[in-house]
Structure 1
Amino acid sequence: MSGWVWALLILSALLVIIIILIIITKLTITLTLYHGNDNDHFKVKLRAWFGLLRYTIDVPLVKLDDDGPNVVVEEKKMRGKEKAPSSEKESKKKISPKDFINSLHDTKEILTHVKGFHKIIRTFLKKVKIDHIHWKTLFGTGDAASTGAMTGAIWGLKGSIIGIISGYMRLQSPPSVEVIPSFQKAIIQTHFSCIIQFRIGNAILVGFKILRYWRGGKPDFKSLSLSGLSEEEQQSV
């Protein structure tokens, strides 16, 4: 065989190997959420290939906008190790009530256009592992009687949420859940963290299923992240 045929075979083999590696790669996501009165902090760490690939999304500040009914979010994105990132990008954005409504509208559009969307997502979540759930809440209203009643309600709410999580995902270990009442002062602090793991191939399969079971008609997306898809479809018509 000629040289270009060998080159084509080698490139094809490399492409197949890369695709297989991507499909079987496990993605590990560490979620951390803290809320304490006016202090909020949310962090997402993504890791693959035994830590060779790392990506961190850090949201150290979430506050109400002084100029209107908006939420101001400061966001930091980092590639590589968190203490010594290879690249770092900071941004600040406002989330308005209209943005929230548009997101709800887009969710409804997807549910309308994708046949069996709930079944597709549930099948995917059954292959998702969730581990090391830690959920601690310190709560108080300033009144002992109402604090005691609300503490019981919070325990019930947490139990229901953990039950839903374990019903949809593969819970790997018993969750660590605490509700600590504070009878002396009004306070609310909560800290939640967990580790989620799944294969990238399973997530890709979800995308293929959404395309396969998409019902007729073009979607009318409203949010900035998805509205471009609607515009592209309109231009192609």
Structure 2
Amino acid sequence: MLGGYHVKLWLLIGVLLLLAVAVLLLSSRIFFHLSLNRRGHDDQIVLDITALFGLVKLHYKLPALVFEGFKRGLHVKLEETGVAPVKSAKDEETNIDKEDVSEWIEYGKKALKATYGLRRWTAETMSHVQITKLDWSTNFSLGDAAGTATAAGALWGLKWTIIGWASQWVKLMRKPRLFVVPVFEDTVGFSTEVDCKGRISAGYALYAVLRLLVRAMQADEGIRQWKDIIREIRSRRREKSAA
């Protein structure tokens, strides 16, 4: 009798510990840091994702983004690394052409059809993303002082328009820092740098995934359609890699 009581006590303690760990993990946040640099013809995009109190770290680097003409399109090289429990280290190179863009648009249409209320789900999920830092600096020269000065004002307006549009989707936790620096030189030049940090609750991220699955099941054969989309994407990637 006493032995059975001890077994039940240890089971209860184990369940309570598992619940405590689950609550702790779900109450954590997923952090991301996106940086984009373009100087002349050199581009670099870096994305870092940290989750579960640093147990999961993903690093994506796009060191090559070169336009190779209308036929071959945009040449992209992607470097991916990660640490435990998600371990990965791989490099991928591909070309994005007009055909790829058309296919992505078709995949988007199919995803909308395969998921009930996908637009609303996207808007609600993005509204829980908090942007804690957003710096955007641009230096440029049009080779003409008058033209550069005029373009500087237009660029200011364009930046604030983009920020206003983005604020309808995500939460800006602090005022963005925008810089436009006209360079009065006789040569044409352009460089821009974006530094963005943000976060989202891990619990809400999991909830959003579960809602997406439910919405897919609510659509007519939604799960089957999603499987077909994923199968098509994988098949297309294999064909492109073999080419």
What TM-score results when the alignment is normalised by the length of structure 2?
Answer: 0.77
- 1: CA distance, partners of 2:158 / 2:231: 32
List runs of 5+ in structure 1 lacking aligned partners. 230-237
Note the C-alpha offset of 1:49: 4.1
Note the C-alpha offset of 1:22: 3.8
Q: In the alignment, which residue of structure 2 is the partner of 1:196?
A: 198
- Structure 2 counterpart of 1:211, one-letter code: L
Q: In the alignment, which residue of structure 1 is the partner of 2:225?
A: 219
Cα distance, 1:99–1:18 mapped onto 2, change above 3 Å? farther
Matched, 1:20 2:23: yes
Structure 1 or 2: larger helix share? 2
Matched, 1:205 2:211: no
List runs of 5+ in structure 2 lacking aligned partners. 236-243
Cα distance, 1:227–1:59 mapped onto 2, change above 3 Å? closer
Matched, 1:70 2:76: no
Higher Rg of the two aligned structures: 2
- Structure 1 counterpart of 2:153, one-letter code: G
Matched, 1:164 2:168: no
SS of structure 2 residue aligned to 1:219: helix
- 1: CA distance, partners of 2:156 / 2:102: 30
Q: In the alignment, which residue of structure 2 is the partner of 1:175?
A: 176
Cα distance, 1:117–1:63 mapped onto 2, change above 3 Å? same
Cα distance, 1:159–1:67 mapped onto 2, change above 3 Å? closer
Deviates more, 1:170-179 or 1:212-221: 212-221
Equivalences for 1:86-235 in 2 at 5 Å?
88-184=89-185, 185-214=187-216, 215-217=219-221, 218-219=224-225, 227=233
Cα distance, 1:14–1:68 mapped onto 2, change above 3 Å? farther
Q: Tell me how many residue pairs correspond in the alignment.
A: 225
Contact 2:73 2:95 in 1 (8 A): yes
- 2: CA distance, partners of 1:154 / 1:136: 11
RMSD: 3.2
Contact 1:139 1:180 in 2 (8 A): yes
- 1: CA distance, partners of 2:206 / 2:226: 24
Note the C-alpha offset of 1:72: 1.9
What TM-score results when the alignment is normalised by the length of structure 1?
Answer: 0.79
Task: Please point out which of 48, 53, 56 is paired with 1:53.
Answer: 56
Contact 2:45 2:63 in 1 (8 A): yes
- Structure 2 counterpart of 1:156, one-letter code: G
Q: In the alignment, which residue of structure 2 is the partner of 1:233?
A: none
Contact 1:103 1:222 in 2 (8 A): no
- Structure 2 counterpart of 1:192, one-letter code: V
Question: What is the identity percentage for the equivalent residue pairs of Structure 1 and Structure 2?
Answer: 23
Note the C-alpha offset of 1:54: 2.2
